[in-house]
Structure 1
Amino acid sequence: MVAAEEEEERDAAIPEPLSLFASCLSQHRFGDQELRVLEAALSAGGDVPALLATRAEARCLLRASAVEAFPATGPVEEDGRRFATADFFARAFALVGDVESCLAMKYEALVLRESKYSDDHHLQVSHDEWLTFAKDSLDNGFYTIASKAFANALAHIRPSHARHLDSANSIQEKDRINNITGLQNLAKSLSAQHSVQTQSAEYMKRRTSGVHEKCNLQPGKPKLPGSSMFRLGIKTRNIKKLLRSQERNLDEI
């Protein structure tokens, strides 16, 4: 009875234009038709505050639904459905302007395709897809993921480069490889700098909250899935912003 009342209160808080889209998400309907429903909801309303409120609520709905749709583990046979779902959420997050979540879902979809459909000409991930994703990740501060994506982009070039080393295109391929390698090195460098800043931010966070615990710097951390790595990146970026704000306030005192 209590759960039903909480659900009714949550549904009542959803703006009217989003009610149909919220219903689609609750029924796990993730397709092109649902994206069109979202587009219509985002353009409904007569004033700017109402549109902004709808967009903000749509982001909350999508984030909650994405967490539910992507459990930490899942059977291998569900990879096809997970890929389609990741693609849906990537496009939906793009519509509501949530760049961080959009990139997380794109990475999830690319990794699934790379591992599951590497032999399928229509579904295998291309060099250009990895390169575009790597540049987007670099521009948005996800340096570790960007470095991995640049490595994948290089892996798609080098076999072709080796086969055509003596061809007229070899110079262009060398230039492409050098450019991507340069971007990858930049991502690695920024990732190393970010790691030092993150440790400082974590210290400031513990000191501010009054919790003084010994840092656990054990090597060999377990590998995280793509979406978890992005969530960790988002968290550390927010802490970094908090640290900078605190430093500015101290300077002004």
Structure 2
Amino acid sequence: MSDIMADQISLFRAQITNRKFDDETLRILDSVLVAKDLRSLLEVQLQLKEFLRCESLRIIREIIEKAVDQKLLIIDFLVRAFALSGDVESCLALRYEALVMREMKSSSNPWLHVSYGEWFTFAEHCLDNRFYTIAIKASEKALSCIQMETVIQPLTNDHIEVEQFIKKIKRLNNVAVTSAASQSVQAQAAAYLKKKTLGLKRNTSPIIKEKALSASTLFRCGIRKRNKRKLQAHCSLLKSPALNVEVYSTLVHSFVL
């Protein structure tokens, strides 16, 4: 990592630490992510993702008491920062939180109303990135919004267009439901295969261990018997006056394991 890049990262961290949620901070982040090679880019992205995730949790806790419009501005900044850093999961999670917040506050603040088009676009992005469960929720929100809007304001000449959009939302919902079910089946299959593999290892390992221990034991017993015979043969040499105690001791230590 170059010194210039390290300085830019330090500057971006300082901006976030000082709670500078503006375009200048995002421009610094963008400049940091202009790496000369893929390896450097991935390294920097990982470093910034971890930093942003930790800081975003602190920031969310800090803004609890702020007004809704201030909260939304800060969340929007974090969404853009996560998008630049390549953290799609965090980006979509915060977008969902912002949409839910707007929906909850829209009864007293009509300008916060979330349209069915916004929910549908968000559902598409979730589906494209394989967040199927959230895509299902978002598409259901889109259907609920469009049905509520048609109750409040009956369909006019553009009713055909609205009906087509409803079909489009339902198709997306069906794809998300099917994909989520498929993902669940794949996860269950993977878990089953892993469990089966571990079971086979547990069943076979005792046999292998027993065989290894048996072979080792037999080998060592064979050596002991052989050395015992040699020791007995040498002990007979004690009858010879030429053999002293020191030689005998040496023989014992040579053959006994």
| Residue matched to 1:102 | 91
C-alpha distance in structure 1 between counterparts of 2:75 and 2:197, whole Å: 37
**What is the match of residue 185 of structure 2?**
196
Rounded to whole Å, the distance in 2 between the matches of 1:119 and 1:206 is 53
SS in 2 for 1:194: helix
Partner of 1:37: 28
Give the C-alpha shift of residue 78 in structure 1.
6.6
Q: C-alpha displacement at 1:82, in angstroms?
A: 4.1
Q: How is 1:112-191 mapped onto 2 (pairs within 5 angstroms)?
A: 112-162=101-151, 163-165=153-155, 167-191=156-180
Equivalent residue runs for 1:206-245 within 5 Å: none
How far is 1:36 from its partner?
A: 2.3
One of 46, 51, 64 as aligned partner of 2:54: 64
Cα shift at 1:118: 4.4
CA distance in 1, matches of 2:197, 2:107: 48
RMSD of Structure 2 on Structure 1 (CA): 3.1
What is the alpha-carbon distance in structure 1 between the residues aligned to residue 57 and residue 198 of structure 2? Answer: 28
Contact 1:90 1:105 in 2 (8 A): yes
How many residue pairs get aligned? The number is 195
SS in 2 for 1:68: helix
Q: Is the 8 A contact 1:161 1:170 kept in 2?
A: no
> In 2 relative to 1, CA 156–76 (structure 1 residues): closer, same or farther, beyond 3 Å?
farther
Instruction: State the distance in 1 between where 2:40 and 2:192 align.
Output: 40
What is the letter of the counterpart of residue 104 of structure 1? A
Tell me if the contact between 1:17 and 1:54 (Cα under 8 Å) persists in the aligned partners.
no
Distance 1:25 1:205, change over 3 A: farther
Question: How much does 1:38 deviate?
Answer: 1.4
Tell me by how many angstroms 1:69 deviates.
Answer: 2.9
Instruction: Say yes or no: does 1:85 pair with 2:74.
Output: yes
What is the percentage of aligned positions where both structures have the same residue? 39
Q: Which range moves more in the overlay, 33-42 or 74-83? A: 74-83
1:53 paired residue number: 43
CA deviation profile, 1:83-103 (whole Å, cap 9, x unmatched): 333222110011122222211
Q: How far apart, in 1, do the equivalents of 2:107 and 2:190 lie?
A: 40
Q: Which protein is bigger by CA-based radius of gyration?
A: 2
| Conserved 8 A contact 2:63-2:71 | no
For 2:182 and 2:38, locate their aligned partners in 1 and report how far apart those are by CA, in whole Å. Answer: 40
- Contact kept in structure 1, 2:8 and 2:28, CA below 8 Å: no
Shift of 1:29: 3.3
Q: CA deviation at 1:175?
A: 1.3
The Cα offsets for residues 128-150 of structure 1, whole Å up to 9 and x where unpaired, read as 21111000101111111101101
Which structure 2 segments of 5+ residues have no match?
200-257
Using the TM superposition, give the Cα deviation of residue 64 of structure 1 relative to its aligned residue in structure 2, in angstroms: 2.2
Cα distance, 1:199–1:52 mapped onto 2, change above 3 Å: closer
How far apart, in 1, do the equivalents of 2:88 and 2:79 lie? Answer: 9
Q: Which moved more, 1:195-204 or 1:89-98?
A: 195-204
Higher relative contact order (CA 8 A, sep 6+): 1
TM-score with structure 1 setting the length: 0.64
The alignment partner of 1:181 has SS state of helix
